[in-house]
Amino acid sequence: MKHAATSALYAYWDRLRAGRTAPERGDLDPAAIRELLGDIFLLELGGADRYRVRLAGTRICALMGRELTGRPLVETFVAEDRTDVYSLLGGVAATAVPVVAGVVGKTADGRKLDLELLVLPLKHRGRTHARMLGSLTALEVPYWVGTEPLAPLHLASIRYMHRDHGPSDEIDLVTPPLRAAAGRLRLLPGGRG
């Protein structure tokens, strides 16, 4: 994790879960993380949209130049990355393992912004396939942030974290930039040993 807000949210989530796979949605106390609220989102799983933004912080909405509440999270990504975003979110729901992703946003006039995405599983009435907590933070905040919205985001990297260890125990399982620029070829680690 590169951003202090990402580390702080992960630490809060880890304290709440207290050794469980994930904390309950009702365990969240917005007052305990009030300085992070602008960078936080809550996802609702299920329905036609699958991963709909239930709540989105003001800094996230300012980055994107629009309100995200009620919209599918995958809409904020370029079309060619949406399959990877669905896989990322589905993996968190199925395994209750947190994910950190590197994300790149660009404005219409070509200014680039590196972001960090954190997705954490939550239980809702005992089910892990109901809610997720996350954050989207700019690694650096240039003067122009918030004056021009980011175009759809690109995934740069995805890291799944070991559930029983800390955020320093990230393992890089998927790196979307390995995709060939001119096609849908994807390089996968492994092969002959």
Query: Could you tell me how many residues make up the chain?
Result: 193
Amino acid 19: pLDDT: 87
CB contact at 8 A, 77 and 115: no
pLDDT in tens, the chain (193 residues): 889 999 999 999 999 999 888 999 999 999 999 999 999 999 998 876 789 999 999 999 999 999 999 999 999 999 999 999 999 999 999 889 999 999 999 999 999 999 999 999 999 887 777 899 999 999 998 888 888 899 999 999 999 887 554 544 444 444 443 343 334 445 555 555 5
Q: Which two tokens stand for residue 29?
A: 């106390």
How far is the C-alpha of 156 from the C-alpha of 73, rounded, in Å?
Answer: 17
How far is the C-alpha of 21 from the C-alpha of 14, rounded, in Å?
Answer: 9
Amino acid 157: pLDDT: 94
Amino acid 186: pLDDT: 52
How far is the C-alpha of 45 from the C-alpha of 116, rounded, in Å?
Answer: 21
Amino acid 192: pLDDT: 55
What pTM value is reported for the model? 0.83
Q: Which two tokens stand for residue 61?
A: 């909405």
Strands (E), 46-153: 51-56, 99-106, 112-124, 127-138
How far is the C-alpha of 81 from the C-alpha of 73, rounded, in Å?
Answer: 12
Amino acid 177: pLDDT: 38
Structural domains present in the chain = 4-178 (3.30.450.20)
The single-letter code of the amino acid at 152 is P
The single-letter code of the amino acid at 111 is R
